[in-house]
Amino acid sequence: MVALKTSEIERFLAQGSAPIAFTLGSMVVNYTGAEAFYRDSLAAARKLGRRAILLMGDRVDPVLQEDRGGDFLACPYVPHSQLFPRAAAVVHQGGVGTLAQALRAGRPELIVPFYGDQFDNAARAARLGVGRSLHYRQYKPATVARSLEPLLTNSTYALRAGEVAAKVVAQDGAERAAELVCRFLDSGSIAAPL
């Protein structure tokens, strides 16, 4: 896939309503079924009459390369910290890094877990009220559109996502992690290295 210039991405973002951002993060993007995820994502966005930006990594999808719809942008990568705050909603795999950026952005999320901690992360985000979860085996255009529709139209999700974002932004994660590690070491639960 040809790398896009920042000006092309900015032009796309500025030329219409906020798009839905679709990404599989850095690990799942190389999953064998990734092309279907992106085609189904675009079809779902179109079903909802929404624009889409697809972060596809280095995978080339000939079907999307042929599509000249103008209602989407497919690119290898855009920093999540720059894209997510400008998205209408974020659809992602639920990896901890992607989840952290989505929470920080304060946008409703549809999480599509594939493995590991992603299922737990998706459940926690749903309990926080910032989004919903959809198993990857159910990821079909009609199901995705039905799952996204309330995230885009029910203001409760956006309000709650904004509240959580304010808390996330206010935290110093590195400082808090160091504090917890020191507390654990001081507790004598494990032998400290010499």
Whether 170 and 121 have beta carbons less than 8 Å apart is answered as: no
pLDDT over threshold 80, residue 188: no
- Model-level pTM? 0.86
Domain locations in the chain? 6-186
What is d(CA 123, CA 59) in angstroms, rounded to the nearest whole number?
A: 29
Q: Residue 136 has which token pair?
A: 């990857």
* Spatial contact of 126 and 153, defined as CB atoms under 8 Å apart: no
CATH of domain 6-186: 3.40.50.2000
Pick from 25, 124, 39, 131: nearest CA to 88: 131
Which of 71, 77, 78 is CA-nearest to residue 12? 71
- List phi, psi (to 5°) of 181: -65, -45
User: Of 18, 57, 19, nearest to 37 (Cα)?
Assistant: 57
For residue 91, what is the enclosing H or E element? strand 89-92
What's the DSSP call for residue 191? Answer: P
pLDDT digits (tens, 9 = 90+) for 80-127: 999 999 999 999 999 999 999 999 999 999 999 988 999 999 999 999
pLDDT value at position 29? Answer: 67
Q: What is the pLDDT of residues 141-173, one digit of tens each?
A: 999 999 999 999 999 999 999 999 999 989 877
What is the sign of the dihedral through the CA atoms of 34, 40, 46 and 47?
Answer: negative
Q: Distance between CA atoms of 162 and 166, rounded to whole angstroms?
A: 6
Confidence of residue 194 (pLDDT cuts 50, 70, 90): very low
Q: What CA–CA distances, in Å, run from 109 to 49, 64, 133? A: 18, 23, 8
**Closest C-alpha to 98, from 32, 86, 112, 181:** 112
